[in-house]
Amino acid sequence: MGFLSEALERVAPSATVAISQKARTMAQEGRDIIALSAGEPDFDTPLNVREAAVRAMNEGKTRYTNVDGIPELKAAVAAKFKRDNGLDVTAADCFVASGGKQIIFNALMATLNPGDEVVVPVPYWVSYPEIVRLCGATPVFAVADDTTGFKLRPDVLEAAITPKTKWLILNTPSNPTGAAYSADELHGLADVLLRHPHVHILTDDIYEVLVYDGGTFATIAQVEPRLQPRTLTMNGVSKSHAMTGWRIGYCTGPRVLLAAMTKLQSQSTTNPSSIAQWAAVEALNGPQEFLADWRAVFQGRRDLVVKGLNANTGLDCLTPEGAFYVFPSCKRLLGKTSAGGAVLTTDEDFVMALLEETGVALVHGTAFGLPGHFRLSYAASNAELGEAVKRIQGFCAGIR
């Protein structure tokens, strides 16, 4: 009998670990590393939110809370879904967990059995297929590559659905591509889903506030209210309020699902941190005007990076609608050799050689299910981004 569980055996080790580890080791050795591999805003949590946490601590709000969140936060979540997404929900339709990831984990763990299928558009956020596999279910990959702006087409969705499909996972704006679906595009997917009433939809809207060029964020339960009874709309304060370390995610969905998730959470983490929950109340109810400034900063960085990567490098970079990632193709440079002598057969060879020869850390596309690409996170200062782009351009120019 092996010591480790079979469930764990089904999960692949993080494909991003190797590059992060290499970058850290190189930095420790004194190399000048620019890490554009992380997925978190580089801004501080807003002061009013931090002050709310201090108040909560000083007022003794430091005890266990309801498993599914304090009433005040569930009310704030319901108000947010109403205000921003037009979803007609109350606090009883909402649930809070220790980060958006725990919402996804709870929802899938509470519903999946071996043999069930989950449609996962490719490229995907790395955790989706691994959580599905941990649950003993099967991820079914539906290609959404650069030929469709990294968006799932209705006919591709239709072809991926079988009688075993339990969930479709949507993520807009997307990690790793930054692609954000318009309401029209979501309508196209909704039409397919209406024909398959056994399919539930998990929409990961964690990058909602980061949509550029004056674009309007749309989420599927808002676009097609007939899907709301089988949609779990997930969100969180990690990216919206630069609160990745506070660990608060939230959602709204069918009450039977929320009850199941509450049962599961009651036997795992109990409640999210009481202090972080009070901070999240302030994040959701407090002023949101700062977001316009953040958006402007991120949009400027996106433009700098897209322009630099497309400047005669051999890379092909689409302009994403949102989040803080670009996902360029390096296919035209594969099969060649870097100035440092590395043979660039795969996207992983490309990012490893780039790191070794220039100190810029990116993540290869294969980690997200789509070879021939890499992900660059532009949640970094303009100075760092400008320097990174210069080094990437130099690296590409040296490829023969």
Query: Given the rule CB under 6 A, which residues bind ligand PLP?
Result: 39, 99-101, 125, 171, 175, 204, 206, 236, 238, 244, 249
13 contacts 364 by C-beta, under 8 angstroms: no
Shortest Å, Cβ 396 to ligand PLP: 27
Shortest Å, Cβ 310 to ligand PLP: 24
Compare residues 81 and 125 and give the one whose CB is closer to ligand PLP: 125
Q: Name every residue whose Cβ is closer than 8 Å to that of residue 35 and which is 6 or more positions away in sequence.
A: 20, 23, 27, 361, 380
Closest residue to ligand PLP, based on beta-carbon distance: 99
Shortest Å, Cβ 232 to ligand PLP: 13
Shortest Å, Cβ 242 to ligand PLP: 11
Spatial separation of the C-alpha atoms in residues 325 and 173, rounded to whole Å: 10
Q: Name every residue whose Cβ is closer than 8 Å to that of residue 261 and which is 6 or more positions away in sequence.
A: 68, 95, 97, 103, 106, 107, 110
Compare residues 39 and 359 and give the one whose CB is closer to ligand PLP: 39
Shortest Å, Cβ 206 to ligand PLP: 4
Shortest Å, Cβ 1 to ligand PLP: 33
Shortest Å, Cβ 14 to ligand PLP: 12
Residue carrying structure tokens 């069930």: 116
Compare residues 146 and 208 and give the one whose CB is closer to ligand PLP: 208
Spatial separation of the C-alpha atoms in residues 179 and 175, rounded to whole Å: 8
Respond yes or no on whether the N-terminal peptide bond of residue 254 is cis (omega within 30° of 0). Answer: no
Alpha helices in the chain (DSSP H): 6-9, 17-28, 47-58, 71-85, 100-111, 127-134, 154-160, 183-194, 220-223, 237-240, 255-266, 274-285, 290-309, 347-358, 382-397
380 contacts 336 by C-beta, under 8 angstroms: no
Shortest Å, Cβ 47 to ligand PLP: 21
Compare residues 151 and 358 and give the one whose CB is closer to ligand PLP: 151
Q: In this structure, what token pair is assigned to residue 299?
A: 């949009």
Compare residues 120 and 354 and give the one whose CB is closer to ligand PLP: 120
Sign for the CA dihedral angle at 134, 5, 113, 260 comes to: negative
Q: Name every residue whose Cβ is closer than 8 Å to that of residue 323 and which is 6 or more positions away in sequence.
A: 173, 174, 175, 177, 178, 180, 207, 210, 239
Compare residues 175 and 299 and give the one whose CB is closer to ligand PLP: 175
Compare residues 249 and 328 and give the one whose CB is closer to ligand PLP: 249
248 contacts 96 by C-beta, under 8 angstroms: yes
Compare residues 145 and 334 and give the one whose CB is closer to ligand PLP: 145
Spatial separation of the C-alpha atoms in residues 181 and 362, rounded to whole Å: 25
Shortest Å, Cβ 324 to ligand PLP: 10
